[in-house]
């Protein structure tokens, strides 16, 4: 059931946020966020395999006005994680004036690949369908996520409708009936921020880079390598994609750094806009305070220069 609540969680993170940022105004700002925003939590956006996939919407109080929107997808190797654990991730985006849609999806224990890809594509269509109600600007959607969420942010923003993963989604037009792709063949986003996401899924299924979490996402299906190709962002590099920022540590042992490099080089070769921010010696997240500050400086620059322009992020 949908519940509308005051976003009181931010009032409880004032102390840790202040300690992390070491800014004298952090406490005041966090309290202002707590007062100024509301969250509609656990909104069902699609139903498959007897499972309700849900999302949270974080928007300013008052009458909805079109705002840039962060569509955030959590990580966990497609087998774990949940949307609630990433709440602190949104603080910098709220400070930049974003609304946030925080997405969960079917994990491997509920449904194997490509269920997560299908769900997050449906979440994007939910944003389009409910944009007016919440003041979500469909011309300024940025998709982001960490690790498996980085992979899903890429597939959500890069897949064309004819890839065939949108067929479970309700049409984005509230007045439409029938299959989604008969009414809205494409749902463009303005940019993608990929935090050390998987870009070549097959690389993690077989060979020296094989990972247990990837194997668990496919189980024993006979056509797993073909499906891995179909859900790999590298498969969909082409001209006309939204700008992509990739953040990756070059000592990552969970998702090889080469995944970010390959995507960056392929996007550039196709004439696209791609920025690769390398965290020297960085692993699979867990970056230091200074490294994190540098990452968000790059994010702001990326949004300013390549996604929204000076008018939105001065």
- Check residue 234 and give its pLDDT: 98
Position 12 confidence tier, pLDDT thresholds 50, 70, 90: very low
Would you state the pLDDT for residue 314? 37
User: Which one-letter DSSP state was computed for residue 1?
Assistant: -
| pLDDT 10s digits, 204-252 | 999 999 999 999 999 999 999 999 999 999 999 999 999 999 999 999 9
Strand ranges in the chain using DSSP code E only, listed in sequence order:
3-6, 37-48, 51-60, 67-73, 99-103, 136-146, 191-195, 244-249, 274-279
Query: What domains sit in the chain, N to C, each tagged with a CATH number?
Result: 35-307 (3.40.50.1820)
- Does residue 68 carry a pLDDT above 90? yes
Nearest-angstrom CA–CA distance, 95 and 73: 19
Q: Range with the lowest mean pLDDT among 3-12, 260-269, 305-314?
A: 3-12
Of the two residues 97 and 310, the one the predictor is more confident about is 97
Q: Which residue is listed with tokens 């920022």?
A: 245
């Amino acid at each position: 059931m949908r519940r509308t609540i005051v976003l009181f969680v931010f009032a409880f993170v004032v102390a840790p946020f202040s300690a992390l940022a070491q800014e004298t105004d952090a406490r005041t700002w966090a309290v202002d966020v707590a007062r100024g925003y509301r969250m509609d939590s656990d909104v069902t956006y699609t139903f498959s395999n007897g499972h309700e996939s849900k999302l949270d919407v974080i928007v300013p109080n008052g009458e909805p006005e079109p705002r840039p929107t962060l569509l955030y997808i959590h990580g966990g190797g497609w087998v774990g994680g949940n949307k609630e654990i990433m709440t602190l991730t949104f603080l910098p985006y709220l400070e930049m004036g974003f609304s946030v849609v925080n997405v969960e999806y079917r994990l491997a224990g509920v449904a194997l690949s490509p269920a997560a890809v299908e769900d997050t594509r449906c979440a994007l269509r939910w944003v389009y369908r409910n944009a007016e109600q919440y003041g979500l600007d469909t011309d300024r959607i940025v998709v982001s996520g960490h690790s498996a969420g980085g992979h899903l942010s890429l597939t959500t923003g890069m897949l064309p409708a004819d890839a065939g993963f949108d067929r479970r989604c309700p049409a984005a037009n509230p007045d439409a009936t029938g299959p989604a792709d008969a009414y809205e063949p494409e749902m463009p986003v303005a940019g993608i921020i990929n935090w050390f996401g998987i870009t070549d899924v097959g690389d993690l299924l077989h060979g020296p880079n094989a990972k247990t979490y990837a194997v668990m996402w496919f189980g024993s299906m006979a056509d797993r390598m073909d499906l891995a190709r179909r859900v790999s962002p590298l498969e969909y590099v082409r001209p006309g994609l939204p700008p992509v920022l990739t953040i990756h540590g070059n000592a990552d042992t969970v998702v090889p750094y080469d995944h970010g490099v390959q995507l960056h080089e392929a996007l550039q070769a196709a004439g696209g806009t791609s920025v690769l921010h390398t965290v020297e010696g960085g692993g699979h997240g867990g970056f230091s305070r200074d490294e994190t500050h540098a990452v968000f400086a790059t994010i702001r620059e990326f949004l300013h220069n390549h996604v929204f322009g000076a008018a939105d992020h001065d």
